[in-house]
Chain A
Amino acid sequence: MKHTAFNIQHSSPPALCLLAFGFCLLTSSGAAAGASTDLESHVTEFTLRNGLQVIVYVDSSAPVVSTNVYYKVGSYDESPGHTGISHMLEHLTFKHTDMYKPGDFDRIVDSAGGNNNGFTSENFTGYYEDFAKDRYELALKIEAARMGKCVFPDSEFESEHQVVSEERRLRDNYPGTELWEQYGATALLVHPSRNPVIGWPDDVAHYTAKAAREWYHEHYGPANAVLVVAGDVRPADVKAKAEKHFGGLKGVPVTRADYYSLEPEQHGERRITVRKRVRVPSLIIGFHSPGIHDTAEFFAAEVAGSIAGSGRTSRLYRRLVTELQLATSVWGGNSVDRDPGLFQVGITPKAESLIPQIEQVVQAELDRLGTELVTERELQQVRNQVLAGEYFQRDDISDMAYLLARSKILYGDWRAMESYAPGIERVTAEQVRDFCHKYLVPDNRTTGILVSAKEDR
């Protein structure tokens, strides 16, 4: 689907969050050795004079190339009243440049047998074209045009504005969306993660072409972007072609605000109830959780999240679904990318009337994690899952391109992805207990509930 917008912070299932950090050194569990130890030999990195950072990942197992440009802009950078403008701009940048007319990008890519898309997230906006390897230069040409040469005629703005408004409405009609948005804005008071990536409905309704142009000129330069070319390519060839297509663009450094410590401490539980026309209730329980700079606690939170809510053997699934049969599904985990965020548990109760009991059971299980040590087998299971997940992710060059770019943008170095598994490996049972004891407490909790509106009961 073209132009997806998603909110990493609010919507990613925890298992994906856990694995999203990419692959890394093999340090344990006796699994097949050597998959990621040679990552350095597959990656070449350089920077053009205009500041465009380029990462080349060589994987010649298939004659395809994924070309990706990630801009360091997303909902993280938006101010109140302008939420979702990055996503609106992402749509507009598929339309018109000095050389291309509306629809040309897609026609060209389709005609060459490629796939292309764009997406907006909290921390970056990405575009990609996947082609057979003999035509990947076409992708560089398209992305260079998108980087420097987009124009936004008023006449084309309104039609795309309507498309984005329809995309916003698509979410409005899913009751779960409203729960997530209201819950996120309740748990986080000021950090930009409280805003949906697609923007609040009223903001979406009032975008202007002028605001989009300004956002583009401020953020869409080579000095604010990362180009990742992954697949069956030669780094020297990529370098020459990148110079050819992007080298002439002028780069102006962009300073990005850092909201790492923006969110105030929470001193008491918060609750939000959404009443909609729904048949199946939902429950989300979240706790403020430390960011990546608090390294030891961050990794302890990752492990705790997996043990608490990842898979059918997780403590909460076993308790709520298998043993007590109060719920039909449970997931949980630490949803933190970089800044302090939320440790979250999501539950599908079997009935609305069971929600109070479920809340008690969840807190009791989390309290137990905060007082008793987890087992060595539980720790080893998390390590094994991280290791295996890294291999599975490496199967897809598009996923690899995403992970490399993500590490570069969030942590300043693609090699940061290699520190995840060692970080998990070092976590002790005591650290997990201490994290849970400190953070997974009622005063640090936000609870979101979706139940049926009275007239539908």
Chain B
Amino acid sequence: MKVTSYQFPVSSRRSALASWRSWRPWRLPLGVLTSAFCLLTSAFGLPLYRDSLPSGLIVLTYEDHRLPTASISLVCRSGAACDPEGEAGAAAMTAELLTRGTATMSGDSATSLVEFLGASFWGRATGDYIELGAQVLSKDVPTALDLVSDAALHPAFAPKELELARSRFLSGAQRIKDSPNRQVDQEFTRLVYGGLPYGHPNYGDTLSIPLIKREDLVSFHGTYVKPNNCFIVAVGDVNRADFVSAIERRFGSWAPSPVPRPSSLTPAYPDRIKVKLISRSDMNQTYVEFGHPGITATDTDMLSTRLMSYILGGSAMSSRLGITVREEGGLAYDVRCWFDRNVLPGAYHATVQTAKPKEAIAKMLHEIALMHDSGATSAELEKAHNYYTGSFPLAYSSSDGKRSQVLAMELFHYGMDWLDKFPDKIRAVTLDQVNRAAREHISPGRYWMVVLGPVTKEDLGLTDVEWIE
């Protein structure tokens, strides 16, 4: 791979962007297009680079030299949504086993190396991606890259490591039943998505985990972990040119191939409120989660929906739900609502934990319906504008914050100007757009609802609902 060495000015955001706009890689002959190069000066004046290898592997380098540390993530754009039928947890177990040994290094050896350096090295999965990550002192970046590249390219999937991982995953799946919040969320997820890609637990369940075989992990890796389906994010004390060269040396021969995509079917709305009640007489509080299908992270209404949802239930203390249920009602410690941000259509969730579920649910249903029918006020929108634009630097100030922002930017194809333009985009959202989002993306009366606690159907005071047995 050839890496272009263009260095746009970084001292001025305006000039950097102007230069970027004038750079039109698509005008070059294809054979020369070995590296599409962009530069964004971030909100803090730090340079963010995006390079691409001929294989399609994208490299995002966010230079931040204030500390001698770096975090490196290899992100594969296929996660638990790509789990084969009946094998929930396959993606997550693949991610886990990528860190547990390669053709030339055992899992224990890799762990010994990492822990001796005081570093960390992890594999994890979400519905949308698996991530192989490392956090190291910058002097150890070459070691981290060796580990990540070896794991991505030559995983061993050793049977012994598979069984150890299976034990851990099974224990984790069983523990969900010991955590009412997580149990409710898992049931809610199943109801909303049914058999669609996000409908199973990312880390599997007690039925699927025992069925996962080594061949399934080999297959998942062989199918999805391809350069044209991956990107690398480096944040911290790294030099972009050196880093991209190092990536090229380690990943240069990685061959691309077509990658299948999960079903993008949109989950269905229930025609009325459908409630699954899980009675637990041993508890002293009831856990409630309800909602319905939502939108994708790339939906044109995403920002207006976020602002609306923030006004409605973004804070347990100062949102409409928070004021009504917690601050005025004293009914709960935590109450909130949100829309998922996923590649495929996500869900809209509202949750509360309370000793008085009848009162809390009634207030929540009322407030949400009110938002749907009457919308937000201009004062509320101004507050939401201020919150999102003002808190943006906060979300971005740590290395972890930078990493997650850059990861989301690339995952959702927001474009290299996303971080720079985000405050302006937020400010541009009008009250009409917010209120339209409330009307179009909230559907009162068409909720899936899960209730877990020491209650009966009669205790909840819900009328005109269908009970799921």
Contacts and interface: CB of A to CB of B under 8 A. Distances in A.
Interface of A: 1-3, 31-32, 35, 59, 61-64, 94, 102-103, 106-107, 110-115, 130-132, 135, 158-167, 169-170, 172-176, 276-280, 311-313, 321-322, 325, 328-329, 348, 350, 377, 380-381, 384-389, 391-392, 394-397
Nearest to A385: B118
Chain A CB within 10 Å — which of B318, B382, B400 has the most? B318
Given A173-B287, A385-B118, 13 more contacts: A1-B316, A32-B139, A61-B64, A64-B394, A132-B393, A158-B330, A170-B285, A174-B180, A277-B280, A313-B111, A384-B117, A385-B115, A391-B69
Of listed B64, B178, B353, residue having the most chain A CB within 10 A: B178
28 contacts: A1-B334, A2-B317, A31-B137, A32-B68, A35-B67, A106-B318, A111-B386, A113-B387, A113-B392, A115-B394, A131-B390, A132-B393, A159-B327, A163-B332, A166-B285, A166-B353, A170-B353, A172-B285, A173-B287, A277-B282, A311-B115, A313-B112, A313-B115, A328-B170, A381-B118, A388-B137, A389-B118, A395-B67
Nearest to A306: B115
A107 B400 contact: no
B331 A107 contact: no
A110 B330 contact: no
Nearest to A34: B68
Nearest to B317: A106
A276 B327 CA distance: 32
A110 B391 CA distance: 9
B398 interface: yes
Contacts of A163: 326, 330, 332-333
B327 A102 contact: yes
Interface of B: 44, 64, 66-69, 108, 111-112, 115-119, 135-139, 163-164, 167-168, 170-171, 174-175, 177-180, 280, 282-285, 287, 315-318, 323, 326-334, 353-355, 382-383, 386-394, 396-400
Contact of A106 (B111, B315, B334): B315
A110 B315 contact: yes
Contact of A312 (B111, B171, B280, B328): B111
B122 to A, nearest CB: 11
Contacts of B138: 32
A395 B236 CA distance: 10
Contacts of B69: 388, 391-392, 395
A39 to B, nearest CB: 13
A103 B317 contact: yes
Contact of B391 (A114, A173, A380): A114
A339 to B, nearest CB: 28
Contacts of B327: 102-103, 159
A235 B419 CA distance: 31
B178 A278 contact: yes
Contact of B167 (A161, A279, A350, A391): A350
Nearest to B282: A277
A421 B328 CA distance: 48
Contacts of A165: 355
B316 A2 contact: yes
A384 B167 CA distance: 30
Given A1-B334, A166-B354, A172-B285, A391 B394 contact: no
Contacts of B177: 279
Most A-side CB within 10 Å, residue of B330, B331, B386: B330
A32 B174 CA distance: 43
Nearest to A117: B317
B101 to A, nearest CB: 12
Contact of B116 (A2, A384, A396, A397): A384
Nearest to B113: A313
- Greatest chain A CB density within 10 A among B329, B387, B388 is at B387
A113 B388 contact: yes
Given A162-B330, A166-B331, A130 B394 contact: yes
B67 A394 contact: yes
B44 A63 contact: yes
Contacts of A325: 163-164, 167
A445 to B, nearest CB: 25
Contacts of A173: 180, 283-285, 287
